Amino acid sequence: MKSLSNTQNRFLRSKSHPLKAVVIIAGKGLNENVQGAIEEALAHHELIKVKIKVDSREDKAELVEEILKLTNAHKIQLIGHVLTLYRPSDAHKIVLPK
């Protein structure tokens, strides 16, 4: 997957501001149900927020890397406990600037 330019990343960050988290990862971690929910949300919306409720920064960093590896999505930003992900779908609902 090719990386996003700074302009595209800024564009996606601005589009993500009004979004609410569609998936919440808590006590049970990244199980199959949560993975399925993330995949479904990315396929439908392309740009989503995931709330990660873990105690330590190390656990959060590991969880973020695992999510990125499993979903093949771009990390747009991570603020506090909210991760913003982007993965284009076949429909290309979000048109990125060049």
- Kindly state whether residue 12 falls inside one of the protein's structural domains: yes
In a domain, 95, yes or no: no
Task: Tell whether 1 is covered by a domain.
Answer: no
SS3 20: coil
**Residue 26 is which amino acid?**
A
pLDDT value at 2 more than 80:
no
Which domain, by its residues, includes 70? Answer: 6-86
Total-model pTM = 0.91
User: What per-residue confidence (pLDDT) applies to 1?
Assistant: 65
- Give the mean model confidence (pLDDT) for residues 39-67: 93
What mean pLDDT is reported for the chain?
92
Residue 98 lies in a domain: no
d(CA 93, CA 45): 8
Q: Is 52 inside a domain boundary?
A: yes
For residue 13, pLDDT over 90 is answered with yes
Whether residue 67 lies inside any domain: the answer is yes
In a domain, 14, yes or no: yes
Contact call for residues 94 and 48 (beta carbons, < 8 A): no
Q: Above 80 in pLDDT, residue 56? A: yes
Give pLDDT tens digits for 84-96: 999 998 888 898 9
For residue 69 the two structure tokens come to 């590896």
Count of the separate structural domains present in the chain: 1
Specify the CATH number for the domain of residue 34. 3.30.110.60
Give the largest CA-CA distance in the chain.
40
